[in-house]
Structure 1
Amino acid sequence: MTEGLEPNATGIVIINYGLQVLIEGLNGIYCGNHYRCYKRANVPSLVAGDHVIWRNANPFGVVVARQTRSSKLARLDIGGKTKSVAANVSQLFIVIACLPLPITNLIDRYIVAAEAEHISVTFVANKMDLVKHKNSVQLQAVINEYMRIGYPVIRSSVKTALGINLIKNNLRNKTSLFVGQSGVGKSSLLNLIEPTANSRTAPLSIANEKGAHTTTVSRLFRVSSGGNLIDSPGTHTFSLAHLDSRQLIEGFKDFHPFLGKCKFRDCLHDEQSGCAISEATKKNLVSARRFKNYHQIKDELKIK
């Protein structure tokens, strides 16, 4: 039972345990310390990165309010409800590797979700020590495709520490989120960036070249060199069914130069004659793979 509530204080959510959240105090005598808290029933759901007003007590504190979010990365859960993955994120790091090979449909879903919240996107091409792997050519093709659109790419390796300092520099003074497929090495990267994280890792399955889920819920880490880094669970799916048609097409910024140039004002941007985006794919001005991914997501959203 929580008794003797102290005055209001500010904090940031480190992790949501379900019935309780772990927060870090941001002011006064609480600054830098961690506290387990319940939340009042009228407080909206909390995720890593949320800024809160809370009150300390023995043995557990109480979150009394969630402060306004500057951004959130969200997806649709299996119950059909919108679920936030992280809050107040300013940049998204999409971690990819040659093992397992990138799922570009998943990548494009991450990008659309980020663009909808005006979150900047950077790719981390990990495991670059595997340059002689049979998948390296396919990985490079994916890297080239997104670099051409304008997304920066940092090449990294946990074995050689390639790119680690560059990632650290990009983390300073920001709250960043790591996303990616299971097995791409997010947890290993996190442990190298911030050794105190002690994030659990697991070997890649040789049989199917897929990784195990070593992170089960998003957690915020304070990076000693500066900034906050939120590690999210690895996944092979990411539903965007909570978004609308405008948010979807705006998430494909390589389509933007061709919007408004279709023959018909009500163009559905499919294979019909007169679609400027479809014509652009034939001229290699827009990735045919990205256009296909757009349609797969569009069909999921049931957009007409």
Structure 2
Amino acid sequence: MSKRKLTQNQQRRIQSNNIKNLKRHQRKNKKDIDWQDDMLGNSQNGTVVTRYSAHADVETENGEIFRCNMRRSLSSLVVGDKVIWRKGNEQLQGISGVIEGIYPRENEITRPDYYDGLKPIAANIDRIIIVSAVIPSLSLNIIDRYLVICETSNIPAVIVVNKGDLLNELQRKEVEQQLKIYEDIGYQTLIISAETKENMDKLEVLLSSGTSIFVGQSGVGKSSLINMLLPEVNAVTNIVSENSGLGQHTTTSSTLYHLPQGGNLIDSPGIREFGLWHLELEQITKGYREFQYFLGACKFRDCKHLNDPGCVICEAVKMGKIHKTRFENYHRLVASLAENKAQRHFSTS
């Protein structure tokens, strides 16, 4: 007799219960350090350089790093946060101090989580490096998802295609044509190879100022790039699964690294699917930067930019002012947004 396959919602509920039970077990078997005021030194500034589930590593202004607990009053804490913390008079259970406050963020990247709502990933970022790869395939739809996040967060984006050494001449021309779609609307693009070091010098120059963050699906080579940029880090690498074509997660905590040539780089856990269901339709539409010039000029205020009469977006596509691929990807995102919201409503009702 065959076993009945669990639905996706059933799998999520089981996973959620498992996570809750694990957290309950951890709380039961772990005593939190109760930092009293007389156990701590003076307040000082620092930057969160690594975020773990229960702790964070804070770097001082002179470059020292201390592992800290967080006050329960802090709602969220991510890599890149500027914080106020106090060092303990002695180390307790491997913890050196406590974070007491977070300075206002200049910006932040967030992603939706089915169980915890909207979760920040990193803060105070100068540019987002969207890392893609030609294996298993270059997905413009996924690139567009990341670009919507960049636009809504108001953070400049750079599109980097890794594993360029795997392209033959014909494939390279095809990828270059795909990237030209983004270059024509103002995005910087770069084909690189961590294997042959193609254009790695250009990437290093790009990263040499401010704080950058790598985002992208698992298996695109983010950890390999970290190894090349920072050999001493020895980030764990993994090979794309030959069976599924999907990469395995190789980074379990977000970490900020200082680059030798200057600048900082945040490596974030791999994300196979960057959900956008927390965004409203208007935000996704504005997330396509080439649409912005035409918005508000359609005949009807509730124009869906599909088959509506008097739609200036559709007219711009016909005239070649908006690329057809981007237009089609936009409607894929809109359709997936509606589908995901419907599924969430059904699973919580």
TM-score by length of 2: 0.80
Q: 1:105 aligns with which of 141, 145, 163?
A: 141
Number of the residue aligned with 1:21: 56
Q: 1:146-295 to 2 correspondence within 5 Å?
A: 146-295=182-331
Per the alignment, in what secondary structure is the counterpart of residue 249 of structure 1?
helix
Q: CA deviation at 1:294?
A: 2.0
Aligned to 2:23: none
> What's the counterpart of residue 9 of structure 1?
44
CA distance in 1, matches of 2:268, 2:244: 22
The SS at the match of 1:258 is coil
Q: Which has the higher helix share?
A: 2
Using the aligned pairs only, state the percent identity.
Answer: 38
* CA gap 1:110/1:261 in 2 versus in 1, 3 angstroms: same
1:130 to 160, 166, 172: 166
| In 1, Cα distance between equivalents of 2:42 and 2:169 | 58
How far does the alpha carbon of each residue in 1:52-102 deviate from its partner, in whole angstroms, 9 at most, with x for none?
100011322100001110010111112261111111111000111211213
The structure 2 residue matched to 1:50, chosen from 63, 76, 81, is 81
Whole-angstrom distance in 2 between the partners of 1:54 and 1:80: 26
1:96 — aligned with what?
132
Change (3 A) 1:136 1:98: farther
For residues 244 and 251 of structure 1, the distance between their equivalents in structure 2, rounded to whole angstroms, comes to 11
Gaps of 5+ in 2: 1-32, 342-349
Q: 1:235 to 1:142 in 2, by over 3 A?
A: farther
Contact kept in structure 2, 1:50 and 1:69, CA below 8 Å: yes
* SS of equivalent residue, structure 1 residue 129: helix
Matched-pair contact (CA < 8 Å) for 1:15–1:21: yes
Aligned equivalent of 1:32? 63
- Report the secondary structure of 1:272's partner residue: coil
Moved more, 127-136 or 217-226: 127-136
Native 8 Å contact 1:177 1:232 kept in 2: yes
Counterpart amino acid of residue 296 in structure 1: R
Larger radius of gyration: 2
CA drift of 1:255 comes to 1.1
Post-superposition shift, 1:260? Answer: 2.7
Once the two structures are TM-superposed, the CA of residue 251 in structure 1 deviates from its matched residue by 1.2
Aligned pair count reads 299
8 Å contact from structure 1 (residues 106, 236) kept in 2: no
Change (3 A) 1:44 1:297: same
Distance, in Å, in 1 between the alignment partners of 2:76 and 2:261 is 30
